[in-house]
Amino acid sequence: MTNKELFEALRMFEKEKDIPMDYMLQQIEKAIVIACKNYYEGNENVVFKVDPEKNTFDVKLVKTIVDEVENPNYEVTLEQAQQINKRKKFAVGDEVEVPLDPKKLGRIAVSSARNVIRQGITTGEKGRALLEFQSKLGEIVTATVERIDPKSGIATIKIGKSEAMLPKNEQIGLENLREGDRVKVFISDVKDNEKGPHAFISRTHPGLVKRMFEQEVPEIFDGIVEIKSVAREAGSRTKMAVVSSNPDVDAIGACIGPKGARVNSIVNELGGEKIDIIEYSEEPEKYISSALSPADVVKVEIVDADKKSCKATVPDGQLSLAIGNKGQNARLAARLTGWKIDIRPESGFYGEDEDDEDKAEETVTENTEPETAGEVTEEAAE
């Protein structure tokens, strides 16, 4: 391979693999140094002169000028030095740069150099993938489904020039992904290990809904409307609390959009998942009351402010509505607000709803801490 061919190959590699030419030249230099060390009995004093614009790549091994050569791997005579560089006057003790032909380094040395270059390529690809993933951490990306495992249902997703796995439990409900589909995924975490960078992606994470509203609603993007909290049971229902910093802007209306256009586009993307948008309030009673919608709340009593425990009273006929199917409405309200909510009928008698109430009470109190790793909290939204 000529120098021109080498640089053309490196430019093509940079374009296809997105690994900088400078990085690959460093790996080649490192490989040649190791090859010289192996072939010339430890002499790794190598000088490189590289000019990509002129397609020049020169490698020289530095040796010392002596009267009598004892180790040809490190030494040359004065006469030999003058033949190498006729323009310069040398003296015994000086150093001379001896032109080096990498092809003469021997089979073992060349093999070792190739391994170093391969490792450099692998490391470069991992580094590029890690940077690509890290730059998108906490964001939505539109990716392509490369393939689906027929047994596990795990989808291999192409993100830029990298790949990530979308487990079945991170897919929405009963959605049926197919090869070639373009889907939006949320990058929830990025880790690097011995196997390389690994992006954790999800379509069930509450952050997906939050970012979709940020993209869809200009008032959120501009900072006029703020998403304070999101609680989600993917594929079924989401509750989102919003607030406006401008009294002339209706936070809920902005998120819904003209004739529901904004929220409907998100609902369609999520396969028909229901989205309740409520007004956030610094007053816990008001906030909790709104979170239990669509049920009407007669009153909210704070039982223990430190433990964030309260009682919510609803009309007898709306107890089931407040609790929701299998306790979902009450559960999401508790997650959204971070409060433990004990829902009571106005009359104090549960009647035929008693079983539902028991289930709701049990469900609402089992996990009412603000959602962290898997869900967006007030702090995370900020």
- How distant, in Å, are the alpha carbons of 162, 232, 309 from that of 371? 30, 10, 16
Is residue 228 domain-shared with residue 329, that is, in the same domain? yes
pLDDT band at 24 (very low <50, low <70, confident <90, very high): confident
Is residue 377 domain-shared with residue 279, that is, in the same domain? yes
284/337 Cα distance (integer angstroms): 8
75/67 Cα distance (integer angstroms): 9
Is residue 213 domain-shared with residue 346, that is, in the same domain? yes
109/128 Cα distance (integer angstroms): 28
- Structural domain including 45 reads 3-125
This prediction has a pTM of 0.62
Is residue 120 domain-shared with residue 242, that is, in the same domain? no
The CATH number of residue 121's host domain is 3.30.1480.10
303 falls within a domain: yes
Question: Over pLDDT 90: what percentage of the chain?
Answer: 47
Greater model confidence, 263 or 174 = 263
Phi-psi bin for 106: left (phi > 0), alpha (psi -120 to 50), beta? left
Is residue 120 domain-shared with residue 221, that is, in the same domain? no
Question: How many domains does the chain divide into?
Answer: 2
Please provide the average confidence, as pLDDT, over all residues in the chain. Answer: 82
Spatial CB neighbours of 339, under 8 Å, sequence gap ≥ 6: 284, 288, 308, 309, 310, 368
Cα 50 to chain centroid distance, Å, stands at 36
199 falls within a domain: no
pLDDT digits (tens, 9 = 90+) for 92-132: 999 998 887 666 654 544 555 566 666 666 666 666 666 66
Specify the pLDDT at position 175.
82
The CATH number of residue 274's host domain is 3.30.300.20
Is residue 17 domain-shared with residue 112, that is, in the same domain? yes
Mean pLDDT over 189-203 rounds to 80
Greater model confidence, 321 or 136 = 321
117 falls within a domain: yes
Is residue 228 domain-shared with residue 342, that is, in the same domain? yes
Is residue 116 domain-shared with residue 242, that is, in the same domain? no
